[in-house]
Amino acid sequence: MKSSLKYAMLMENHKPYIAMLLVQFIYAGMALFAKAAISKGMNPYVFVVYRQAFATITLAPFAFFFKSKETSLSYNLIWKIFFISLFGLTMSLNLYSVAIKYTTATFAAATTNTIPVLTLIIAVCLRMESISVRKLPGFAKVLGSVISLSGALVFAFVKGPTINFMNWYPSTHNQNTNTAIKNHPVEEWIKGCFIMLSGNTAWSMWLVLQGCILKQYPDKLRLITLQCFFSCIQSAIWAIAAERNPSAWKLGWDVHLLAVLYCGVIVAGITYWLPVWTIEKKGPVFTAIFTPLALVITAVFSAFLWKETLHWGSVAGVVLLVGGLYSVLWGKKREGGERARNEQNIDSNKEEIVLECITHQ
């Protein structure tokens, strides 16, 4: 009895870790499936339309039956959600899909580590968050931001020697040091890198604006469902303008259908619930710490699936990316702890003043 109770408690404590591992595997799969579908000829804009359509269909029943709060939607609020969807989901996902055509799934997974840093920079520029460089946590956040963005540039543009123990295909390696570089000329690779970083910036802007809109419409599930719906319509207009060939919209029983189903159903369904649940259990910093795992998973699978050869320059970029990310997270956690202690001291001082007033009376 005691052993079973102990095992149950152990599993309960490890649930957040298991949840975040699953989320990172799902994110890695998103990059791999998106790369596979677009490399096989699927139009990137059409891919986003189908992805958002399946996401809307998946989330709509949950949004209808699981109402968190009764909140009314005014016309002003609907327009705000529409524009946030346009500059966040629609723009970021379309830029991501175009960029992954010119780069690799590994690079896409690597640059997601810049999103917390870019979010911090945008929040500071919009004066939604302040940084005191004179204090150690503030300095760590600034230094981490610089290091992380530098790591993204190093990963993109510095190759260096190949990693021999990651060369699974020595025969092809002699012909070409990197299949990804062969498929993508230097001009396309550079263009793809900047498009990917632009997409991450748009996503970071969306995350910042989410905080503002949630204050007016706190029903998170309905809000994300509405945004997926608006994003689907916006992406459809974008895709129709960019792709006039009707055959590009056909879905067969192939990797194209599998990719849009995976990204629309699995990514939208599971990765919406699990991170929110984990944040409630362990906090946002705990959730963000697991972000680099998606990069490791994607790199390993890409080496097997697409014969990608990793370079030491890319490893240096990853080290800078992850180091900068953890520096920012440490600074935010330290500042949050100091803020909580200050609030606690203020509350205790107020209680002491009240007690003194009562005793004097």
Tens of pLDDT, residue by residue over 322-349, are 888 888 888 877 876 666 666 555 545 5
Share the mean pLDDT of the chain.
79
* Number of other CB atoms surrounding residue 207 within 10 Å: 16
Residue entry with tokens 């207009």? 237
- pLDDT value for 67: 67
In whole angstroms, what is the distance from residue 48 CA to residue 239 CA?
Answer: 9
Q: Write the Ramachandran bin of 307: left for phi over 0, alpha for psi from -120 to 50, otherwise beta.
A: left
- pLDDT value for 338: 65
CA dist list (Å): 71 to 67, 209, 221, 229: 10, 19, 12, 18
**Concatenated DSSP letters of 13-78:** HHHHHHHHHHHHHHHHHHHHHHHHHHHTT--HHHHHHHHHHHHHHHHHHHHHH--SS-----HHHH
Token pair in block for residue 76: 């002003």
Higher pLDDT, 291 or 5: 291
Positions of E strands within the chain: none
- pLDDT value for 146: 87
Q: pLDDT of 69-80, one tens digit each?
A: 666 788 899 999
Q: pLDDT of 5-16, one tens digit each?
A: 555 565 567 788
Contacts 24+ apart (CB under 8 A), 334-338: 334/136, 334/137, 334/140, 335/137, 335/138, 335/141, 336/285, 338/137
Token pair in block for residue 175: 């012909």
Higher pLDDT, 356 or 226: 226
| Residue ranges per structural domain of the chain | 2-360
What percentage of the chain reaches a pLDDT higher than 70?
A: 80
Q: Do 257 and 115 form a contact (C-beta atoms < 8 A)?
A: no
